[in-house]
Amino acid sequence: AQRVTQPEKLLSVFKGAPVELKCNYSYSGSPELFWYVQYSRQRLQLLLRHISRESIKGFTADLNKGETSFHLKKPFAQEEDSAMYYCALSVNSGYSTLTFGKGTMLLVSP
């Protein structure tokens, strides 16, 4: 069965510092990887997906199949980035029964 591991429960940085939220997965095939974000008092929403290869709100994530990782990075953190971040994996083509990690709380201080 597939699994997603986010080793950090909490990541605390200062505004302007670089950020890397770690995500590792276990799956023998070719999964799709996603990052979802939940801001305070808001609903869970998609941040980015690896197949899009896009930067959203300054965040990027590269799928490394050799290391089975999909770390989320941003060069300069902003206070509004403070949120709960979930890495998720889908192994089904055509629909998305996502397997989520436990999440990492990012706290950006002024």
- The binding site for another protein (CB under 8 A) comprises 4, 32, 34, 43-46, 49, 51, 86, 88, 90, 92-103
Give the dihedral sign, CA 106/63/16/45: negative
> Residues 87, 8: contact at Cβ < 8 Å?
no
Judged by beta carbon, residue 21 or residue 88, the one nearer another protein is 88
d(CA 67, CA 65): 5
Judged by beta carbon, residue 27 or residue 100, the one nearer another protein is 100
Judged by beta carbon, residue 21 or residue 90, the one nearer another protein is 90
